[in-house]
């Protein structure tokens, strides 16, 4: 049967509209996959959640019973705030631009080595000449801004926190960078000695504060610890950011960046700790301000390289034996999140710039 011209045009128009709808749906799906974890909320290491329930019971590391008294972990006698997210590449690029982009009083750019060449996949530095003949360095982000920053040693972390303590100033050419980076939340002496300032607002969480924020539940709920920082006692999956009990570990999630094993810090949107922290298991290990012996600091949480082994355990678990590193260590699998005193004493520091 031959269709009338009008009917033929209507059918053609409907097919075109249908094709457009399908194409738009496919495009939306691909876009959503490319931007897994992105949300309208600011995704930054500056976003804080509160860990309450002061005086909570500790977790007992039972594997130590063979050698003596079990180690008590996770008990904290005060209310504090901790980063909802790991500090991101964007956060670090902002820090670099503010403190390491212009020559200091001695004419040296980035005298504290805050930029590591291993960051090149994400942050692109280049030099250009300013009008007064001095060189300045620009730092532009090449790729995903919400991946966690890595290749930062403990001193770099503390320099970042000192900068935050001073109000995140933008330093001018010729500024005394050391006055900002070496003093504040931590006094960092020339011999590498670190002296914490108990009256600071910002700081690096201790292992106990980190463990509580990751694994503890409210005293009102019985005050128990989950084995994983996703509020579960069973191992997370690693293939879907929008369902519960997922993490970036075990030979890298397929959601991770093709240039590394990293995922955006808000990727696993349904896998938060009780207090609301993301990525405290997998993605990257995180520095804590807790010693392991005289010259090493503990990292917690495991990374994208953490494996689920035959014994049924892995680095993401609260029961995992923590790793520790020299404070000068810079690794593709170590990042950090910051903490904040809940009712900080008014800082005596003055903001520069």
Higher local confidence (pLDDT), 66 or 149: 149
The least confident of 16-30, 46-60, 122-136, 263-277 is: 16-30
The answer to whether 306 and 128 have CB atoms below 8 angstroms apart is: no
pLDDT of 16 reads 39
Residues 269 and 121: their CA atoms lie apart, in Å, by 25
DSSP H or E segment with residue 105: none
pLDDT, the chain, mean: 84
Secondary structure (3-state) at 316: coil
Secondary structure (3-state) at 225: strand
For 32-43, give one letter per residue: b (16+ CB within 10 A) or e: eeeebbbeeeeb
Residues 336 and 277: their CA atoms lie apart, in Å, by 13
In total, the chain counts a number of residues equal to 353
Residues 349 and 202: their CA atoms lie apart, in Å, by 12
Secondary structure (3-state) at 62: helix
Higher local confidence (pLDDT), 316 or 11: 316
The least confident of 88-92, 265-269, 306-310 is: 306-310
**Which candidate, 224, 218, 217, 208, places its Cα nearest to that of 72?**
208
How would residue 6 be classed by pLDDT, with cut points 50, 70 and 90?
very low
Residues 280, 281, 284, 288, Cα dihedral to 10°: 50
pLDDT of 67 reads 59
Q: Which residues pair with 126 in a beta bridge?
A: 138
Q: Which residues pair with 231 in a beta bridge?
A: none
pLDDT of 135 reads 74
Q: Does the pLDDT value for residue 158 go beyond 90?
A: yes
Q: What percent of the chain has pLDDT over 70?
A: 81
Compute the average pLDDT of residues 91-101. 96
Q: Does the pLDDT value for residue 8 go beyond 50?
A: no
pLDDT of 3 reads 43
Compute the average pLDDT of residues 301-319. 88
The answer to whether 307 and 251 have CB atoms below 8 angstroms apart is: yes
How would residue 133 be classed by pLDDT, with cut points 50, 70 and 90?
low
Residues 43 and 89: their CA atoms lie apart, in Å, by 11
Compute the average pLDDT of residues 21-28. 30
Residues 98 and 77: their CA atoms lie apart, in Å, by 36
Which residue ranges form the domains of the chain, and what is each CATH number?
Answer: 48-341 (3.90.1580.10)
- The listed range with the strongest mean pLDDT (35-39, 73-77, 257-261) is 73-77
pLDDT in tens, 70-84: 789 999 999 999 999
pLDDT of 132 reads 67
How far CA 81 is from CA of 21, 45, 306, in Å, comes to 46, 12, 27
The answer to whether 303 and 335 have CB atoms below 8 angstroms apart is: no
pLDDT of 240 reads 84
Question: Which pair of tokens denotes residue 96?
Answer: 């670099």
pLDDT of 9 reads 45
pTM assigned to the model? 0.84
pLDDT in tens, 200-249: 999 999 999 999 999 999 998 889 999 999 999 999 998 888 899 999 99
Contacts of 121 (CB under 8 A, 6+ apart): 142, 143, 259, 260
Q: Does the pLDDT value for residue 38 go beyond 70?
A: no
Residues 55 and 220: their CA atoms lie apart, in Å, by 13
């Amino acid at each position: 049967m031959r269709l009338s011209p009008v009917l033929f045009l209507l059918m053609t128009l409907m097919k075109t509209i249908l094709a457009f709808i399908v194409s738009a749906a496919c495009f939306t799906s691909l876009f959503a996959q490319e931007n897994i974890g992105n949300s309208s909320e600011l995704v930054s290491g500056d976003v804080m959640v509160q860990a309450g329930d002061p005086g909570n019971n500790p977790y007992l590391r039972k594997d130590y019973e063979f050698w003596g008294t079990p180690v008590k972990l996770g008990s904290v006698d005060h209310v504090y705030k901790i980063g909802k997210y790991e500090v991101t590449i964007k956060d670090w690029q902002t820090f670099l631009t503010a403190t390491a982009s212009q020559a200091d009083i001695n004419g040296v750019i980035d005298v504290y080595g805050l930029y590591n060449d291993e960051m090149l996949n994400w942050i692109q530095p280049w030099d250009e000449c300013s009008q007064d003949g001095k060189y300045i360095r620009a730092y532009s982000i090449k790729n995903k801004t919400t991946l966690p920053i890595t290749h930062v040693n403990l001193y770099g972390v503390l320099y970042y926190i000192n900068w935050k303590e001073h109000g995140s100033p933008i330093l001018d050419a010729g500024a005394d960078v050391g006055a900002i980076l070496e003093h504040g939340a931590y006094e960092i002496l020339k011999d590498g000695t670190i002296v914490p300032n108990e009256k600071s607002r910002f700081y690096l969480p201790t292992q106990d504060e980190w463990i509580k924020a990751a694994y503890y539940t409210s005293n009102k709920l019985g005050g128990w610890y989950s084995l994983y920082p996703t509020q579960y006692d069973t191992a997370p999956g690693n293939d879907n950011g929008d369902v519960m009990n997922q993490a970036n570990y075990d030979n890298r999630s397929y959601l991770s960046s093709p240039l590394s094993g990293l995922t955006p810090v808000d990727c696993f949107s349904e896998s938060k700790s009780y207090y609301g922290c993301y990525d405290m298991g997998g993605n990257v290990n995180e520095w804590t301000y807790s010693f392991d012996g005289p010259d090493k600091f503990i990292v917690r949480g495991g990374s994208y390289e953490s494996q689920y082994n035959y014994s049924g355990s892995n680095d993401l678990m609260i029961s995992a034996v923590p790793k520790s590193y020299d404070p000068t260590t810079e690794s593709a699998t170590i990042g950090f999140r910051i903490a904040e005193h809940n009712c900080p004493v008014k800082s005596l520091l003055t903001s520069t710039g």
